[in-house]
Amino acid sequence: MKKNFSIFFALILTFTLCSFKAPKDSPVFINGKLQVNGTQLCNQNGTPVVLAGVSFGWHNLWPRYYTSKAAQWLASNWKCNVIRASMGVGLDDSYLENPGFALQCITKVIDGALKSGIYVLIDFHSHKLHTAEAQIFFAQMAGKYKNNPNIIYEIWNEPDYYSWTEVKLYSEKIISTIRAIDPDNLILVGSPHWDQDLDSVVSDPIIGQKNVMYTMHFYAGTHKKWLRDRTDNAISKGIPVFISECAGMEASGDGPIDKTEWNTYLKWMQSRKLSWIAWSVSDKNESCSMLLPRASVNGNWGDDVLKEWGKIVRESIRNTNSK
């Protein structure tokens, strides 16, 4: 692995800068570069903006859906104004073992988002700490995409059994790596216990950085009012929150969809002007996967290949982004 990353690091210097002009009347054309004002995500003019979209599943588990056309379908048909490219860091054949393939996958989704003029999260989708690898990865991503206002960096998907002290130290290092190359695009920071310990952030936030938000993840079948209350408290204390992963069933990603709690969360997010991304574009035999295995890799998904959760999410996104 060390040999692979040494070679990979050398390639950063020759990685081609990528820049797309957002299509007329697309979300990025209208809103431009995002900024954080207080606790609110805003557009280039300082007007509050809400993003709603979907997350692709782990690239190393469902690489076939990592296509530019799938990203463009989500923008045009589902009316997503944001999508999330979840680059798997861990499990079999992940970025740690096969960084070249990982970049091939996520680049297709990122470029599809740029062509459609929507925002895209570049997600270092890990539960464990990998500081050196993350620095290499985000230096490369910032070098390639820094001139695109579409880009959002999610620097650690879900820290699990780490303290906020450890997560904060890591985050400050990765933020510094990105900011040395890209001074402006939005950066998302996780918190311990699967992005639910926002209370630890409240007492010791990252300081001296602009355009940084903190992620919260919920699964409505497990996470009830207590997590909404914790998030409300964090926001009231000046912590800007972005919900970069959510779903309607249990935290396992399976089990029945709790439609009542999902709708409660939707109303709550709308009232707080919180941006959200639903999990996931995949075809695993579990309720949080949105597609049946016979779904095309290039989008064009009719009701016949959408599972129940896919239909619910599509409707929720269309309703949110039509307001």
Give the residue numbers marked as catalytic: 158, 245
Residue 259 CA to residue 222 CA, distance in Å, equals 12
CB neighbour list of residue 262: distance below 8 Å, 6 or more residues apart? 220, 248, 312, 316
Residue 286 CA to residue 251 CA, distance in Å, equals 12
Between helices 131-145 and 164-179, what is the axis angle to 10°?
30
Total Cβ atoms within 10 A of residue 130: 18
Q: 113, 23 in Cβ contact below 8 A?
A: no
Handedness of CA 119, 101, 195, 200 (dihedral sign): negative
CA–chain centroid gap for 240, Å, is 15
Residue 58 CA to residue 61 CA, distance in Å, equals 5
Task: Report residue 266 as tokens.
Answer: 């939707």
Q: Which of 263, 189, 207, 240 is nearest to 39 (CA)?
A: 240
Calculate the alpha carbon distances from 247 to 38, 95, 132, 257 in Å. Answer: 27, 25, 31, 8
Task: Report residue 54 as tokens.
Answer: 């979907």
